[in-house]
Structure 1
Amino acid sequence: MMSCSEIYNKLEEFRSSVSKSIEEVTDLDGTCKSMLKRYLADTDSINELAIVKIQAIIDYMYEQVNIGNWKEVKLFLRKTITIACYLKLLALTKTSNEVTDSLVKDLFKIIDFGIMFGCPIDEEPELLQSCATLLSSFDLISHNLSASSSQNQDTTEVDSKQYNAQPIEVVDCPSMETFYKNYIVAEKPVILENCVNHWPALNKWKDQNYFIKLAGLRTVSIEIGRDYTESDWTQKLMTIEEFIKNFIYQSNGPTGYLAQYQLFEQIPELKDDIAEPEYCCFSDSDEPVDVMAWYGPKGTISPLHHDPKRNLLTQVVGEKQIFLFSPKDSEYLYPHEHELLNNTARIDPRFPDFEKYPKYKDAKVYFCVLRPGQMLYIPPKWWHFVESLSISFSVSFWWK
């Protein structure tokens, strides 16, 4: 078993570059900045009282970043959280006598807090992710792996005819030219087959124990509730292990969904199981592709909505039924009037209420069941409703 001092020495290797990053938080108040500089320059001064002071800085920065609009939060506040979380990792391993399960859990919790509420520092952009990889490599904690495999799940048989819908075209790994001309330019949805057969995820992710062993102690944000338009919908932080054991196989109680989540930025090891599709190269900007994870039990729902970017929704585990509508049919779908929900419609295409929404009868419905290994191209502004027919893991690639 690795000792606390050995873990500390490994984490301490990042200290030089983190010390240089103090220059990136020039707007930080003098007291906080001098404290961070002192602990980074003189680790002998780190003791149990230092942990309290470092946590006070983290708490103060957290209060500041939660004031107002998240997009307007000044970067120096978030960079300070990253630096302070790194210092707390050093402080805890320096002042602890032995490596316990409780200590390891606390270390991962600090890392994930820093990743979620902090941001990369220029000198060491992957600082906290690297710390997490380091801890994971030590195999410091054993998990009680009791989750079942998601293979051989019962799924609901559905057909486009029961919804009076048009099936979505399916093509076998089209050429780049064909995809661009027939679907990107034409803004037409399509299902792509045999494009991701090389992904290790297609086999590895069938077993929920894989996630528990690789990232069970990592903290993520889980959506709790039927969908985000419901009044009782909320979000809760929990470990991936807690999520799998309490929600993935849970048929009673509220639904838990890891939805639209940048899991692969937080846990780079999972990124090794997938690959960005070449089709994403057809971009109108230099912005990187947004890669999002969607992981949940049978019955998770994304209500009818549209997004501004192109989307390749890739099904890895399980099946999803998806309804699509052209932007031309927006008036028939009764979008919410509230500004925060104006990209979301009030129609549930599974159970349309024609008395309440009479114009819906004029909408043209497209439908598919997306299966493992398939990618659905959703053009910008196309409305889509998504429901998991089984335990499901999907990856979306969004780009402009």
Structure 2
Amino acid sequence: MFKYREIERVKTISKQDFYQKYYKTQTPVVVEKLTEEWPAYKKWSFDYIKQVAGDKIVPLYNNDPVSADKKVNEPDARMKMSDYVDMLLKGPTDLRIFLFNLIKQVPDMQKDFFFPDLGLKLPIKDLPMLFFGGQGSNVFMHFDIDLANILHFHFDGEKQCILMSPNDTKFMYKIPYATICREDIDFDHPDFEKWPGLKHVTPYRARLSHGEMLYMPEGWWHYMQYLTPGFSMSLRSLALKPANFTNAVLNIFVKRIYDNYMRKQKGQKWIDYKNELAIVNTNKVLASIH
């Protein structure tokens, strides 16, 4: 098993302290009471979501591995939000909602939260994204393609968040031209014999409860587990480091386009090739340090 470092937690924080201690140093932190003055702190629950958005049709995704037969970001199912919430509350399911701009569809929800003044520029103020999951569902290990700084707020339930630094990427069996690692790695019960690179990573862990915020610095890997049914909202700030901003542009406008093209041309052979190359690349790093 991994030996986790617990992510630092604070009750509240000033703009100056957040900027100097966490943002400038790119260090994750949990702020427990940042949302207590928000209307959302009292209002946002599954009952409220059903009330204001129950009739909205939402895209649902499962955790099946990447396949050449499936389009990128193609939903596995669609249903009314009210039916999805009922399904979440009824029992475990691996169907999730991610990167969904529900607030754009329900403008009144914008009145329920405030953009925190923490020294970050949050330029896309009309695009806070929501994420939903049921007990036992998880979000595979990945980092965000735009390498953004992320303020991740959780509501109505508990979620466990596992983070790893970009410095550990070389040991993570990262898939080329993508922002994921090998999908057959079990990060709950890592097999260090099969994946020896994982012996060299330092995982960080935090458990989020209703109203708590996790700051995820740019380019950090993250793996989310819903311990109970719950939902979260993310606000994003562009990369601080010039190199990360450049890499974000390359990810979005070069690597992703090339990857999609090769997937159309080669199909499953391209995916299998990248999976194998992830092992080759990590083994080269391991060989260089032994």
Query: What is the TM-score with the length of structure 1 in the denominator?
Result: 0.54
SS of residue in 2 equivalent to 1:390 = coil
User: What are the equivalent positions in structure 2 for 1:165-314 lying under 5 Å apart?
Assistant: 165-206=4-45, 208-223=46-61, 225-226=62-63, 229=66, 234-251=75-92, 255-279=94-118, 281-283=119-121, 286-288=123-125, 290-307=127-144, 308-314=147-153
Give, in angstroms, the shift of residue 228 of structure 1: 6.1
Give, in angstroms, the shift of residue 304 of structure 1: 0.9
Distance in 2 separating the partners of 1:259 and 1:316: 15
Q: Is the 8 Å Cα contact of residues 192 and 375 (structure 1) preserved in structure 2?
A: yes
Give, in angstroms, the shift of residue 359 of structure 1: 1.1
SS of residue in 2 equivalent to 1:256 = coil
SS of residue in 2 equivalent to 1:191 = strand
Distance in 2 separating the partners of 1:315 and 1:216: 20
SS of residue in 1 equivalent to 2:199 = helix
Distance in 2 separating the partners of 1:229 and 1:290: 26
Distance in 2 separating the partners of 1:227 and 1:198: 39
1:368 to 183, 206, 209: 206
User: What are the equivalent positions in structure 2 for 1:62-101 lying under 5 Å apart?
Assistant: none
Distance in 2 separating the partners of 1:227 and 1:384: 18
Distance in 2 separating the partners of 1:246 and 1:174: 37
SS of residue in 2 equivalent to 1:221 = strand
Q: AA paired with 1:243?
A: Y
SS of residue in 1 equivalent to 2:128 = strand
Q: AA paired with 1:320?
A: K
Q: Which has the higher contact order (CA 8 A, sep 6+)?
A: 2
Q: Do structure 1's residue 349 and structure 2's residue 187 form an aligned pair?
A: yes
Q: Is the 8 Å Cα contact of residues 123 and 237 (structure 2) preserved in structure 1?
A: no
Question: Residues 390 and 229 from structure 1, CA distance in 2 versus in 1: closer, same or farther, beyond 3 angstroms?
Answer: farther
Q: Is the 8 Å Cα contact of residues 289 and 398 (structure 1) preserved in structure 2?
A: no
The answer for the alignment partner of 1:393 in structure 2 is 231
Question: Residues 190 and 336 from structure 1, CA distance in 2 versus in 1: closer, same or farther, beyond 3 angstroms?
Answer: same
Q: Is the 8 Å Cα contact of residues 247 and 255 (structure 1) preserved in structure 2?
A: no
* Superimposed CA distance per residue, residues 286-330 of structure 1 (whole angstroms, 9 cap, x where no aligned partner): 554741111221122111111210001111111111111111110
Question: Residues 180 and 228 from structure 1, CA distance in 2 versus in 1: closer, same or farther, beyond 3 angstroms?
Answer: farther
Q: Is the 8 Å Cα contact of residues 306 and 384 (structure 1) preserved in structure 2?
A: yes
Question: Residues 287 and 205 from structure 1, CA distance in 2 versus in 1: closer, same or farther, beyond 3 angstroms?
Answer: closer
SS of residue in 1 equivalent to 2:112 = coil
Q: Is the 8 Å Cα contact of residues 249 and 297 (structure 1) preserved in structure 2?
A: no
Query: Structure 2: 5+ residue runs without aligned partners?
Result: 239-290
Give, in angstroms, the shift of residue 361 of structure 1: 0.3
The answer for the alignment partner of 1:100 in structure 2 is none
* Superimposed CA distance per residue, residues 176-220 of structure 1 (whole angstroms, 9 cap, x where no aligned partner): 1111111111011111121110222233233x3322222211222
Question: Residues 229 and 348 from structure 1, CA distance in 2 versus in 1: closer, same or farther, beyond 3 angstroms?
Answer: farther
Q: Is the 8 Å Cα contact of residues 304 and 348 (structure 1) preserved in structure 2?
A: no
Query: What is the TM-score with the length of structure 2 in the denominator?
Result: 0.73
Query: Structure 1: 5+ residue runs without aligned partners?
Result: 1-161
Distance in 1 separating the partners of 2:203 and 2:53: 39
Q: Is the 8 Å Cα contact of residues 63 and 140 (structure 2) preserved in structure 1?
A: no
Q: Which has the higher helix share?
A: 1
Distance in 1 separating the partners of 2:12 and 2:162: 22
Q: Is the 8 Å Cα contact of residues 309 and 380 (structure 1) preserved in structure 2?
A: yes
| Greater radius of gyration (CA) | 1
Give, in angstroms, the shift of residue 256 of structure 1: 1.9
Q: Is the 8 Å Cα contact of residues 202 and 317 (structure 1) preserved in structure 2?
A: no
Question: Residues 349 and 255 from structure 1, CA distance in 2 versus in 1: closer, same or farther, beyond 3 angstroms?
Answer: closer
SS of residue in 2 equivalent to 1:244 = helix
Q: AA paired with 2:94?
A: T
Give, in angstroms, the shift of residue 271 of structure 1: 2.3
2:155 to 312, 316, 338: 316
Give, in angstroms, the shift of residue 366 of structure 1: 0.9
Q: Is the 8 Å Cα contact of residues 227 and 302 (structure 1) preserved in structure 2?
A: no
Give, in angstroms, the shift of residue 349 of structure 1: 2.2
SS of residue in 1 equivalent to 2:170 = helix
Distance in 2 separating the partners of 1:351 and 1:266: 39
Distance in 2 separating the partners of 1:311 and 1:345: 20
SS of residue in 2 equivalent to 1:321 = strand
